Amino acid sequence: MAHTAESFCEVWGSPVAHSLSPALHRAAYEILGLDWDYRYRDVTSETLALTWEQRGSALAGLSLTMPLKEDIVALVEAGDPIVAKLQAANTVYRVDGVPTLSNTDPFGVEQALGHHGVSADYAWILGAGATARAVGYALLQRGTTRVTLCVRNPERAHHTAEVMSHWGLDVEVVPLTELDSVDLPQLVASTLPGNAGGLPAMPERVVATAALFDVAYSPWPSAFAHQWGNSPQPIVSGLWMLAYQALAQIRLFVHGDVSRPLSAEDAVFRAMTDAVGLNSGS
Could you report the per-residue pLDDT of 224-267, keeping only the tens digit for each?
A: 999 999 999 999 999 999 999 999 999 999 999 999 999 999 99
Q: In terms of pLDDT, which residue wins out, 144 or 18? A: 144
Q: Which residues contact 116 (CB under 8 A, 6 or more apart)?
A: 211, 234, 236, 240
Residue 111 lies in a domain: no
| Residue of 3, 25, 26, 69 marked active site | 69
Residue 197 lies in a domain: yes
Residue 112 lies in a domain: no
Instruction: List alpha helices for 33-129, DSSP H.
Output: 48-53, 81-86, 105-115
Distances (CA, A) of 176 to 27, 185, 224: 39, 14, 14
In which element (H, E) is residue 131 found?
helix 130-141
Residue 3 lies in a domain: no
Residue 224 lies in a domain: yes
Are 218 and 130 members of one domain? yes
Q: Which amino acid is at 32?
A: L
- Residue 200: the pLDDT is 83
User: Rounded CA gap, 64 and 81, in Å?
Assistant: 18
Q: Which residues contact 280 (CB under 8 A, 6 or more apart)?
A: 273
Are 173 and 217 members of one domain? yes
User: Rounded CA gap, 173 and 96, in Å?
Assistant: 42
Residue 55 lies in a domain: yes
Are 202 and 155 members of one domain? yes
- Residue 3: the pLDDT is 54
pLDDT digits 0-9 by tens, 189-229: 999 987 777 788 899 999 999 999 999 998 899 999 999 99
**Domain span holding position 159:** 118-233
The yes-or-no answer on residue 69 being catalytic is yes
Query: At residue 281, does pLDDT exceed 50?
Result: no
280 — pLDDT class (breaks 50, 70, 90): very low
Q: How many helices (H) and strands (E) does the chain have?
A: 10, 12
Are 137 and 70 members of one domain? no
Are 125 and 227 members of one domain? yes
Are 196 and 154 members of one domain? yes
Are 132 and 162 members of one domain? yes
Are 224 and 253 members of one domain? no
Residue 110 lies in a domain: no
User: Rounded CA gap, 65 and 40, in Å?
Assistant: 11
6 — pLDDT class (breaks 50, 70, 90): low
Are 143 and 222 members of one domain? yes
CATH code (residue 193) = 3.40.50.720
Total domains in the fold of the chain: 2
The side-by-side arrangement of strands in the sheet containing 78-79 is 37-42, 8-13, 59-64, 91-95, 98-102, 78-79
3-state percent breakdown (helix, strand, coil) of the chain, nearest 5: 40, 20, 40
Query: At residue 1, does pLDDT exceed 50?
Result: no
Residue 280 lies in a domain: no
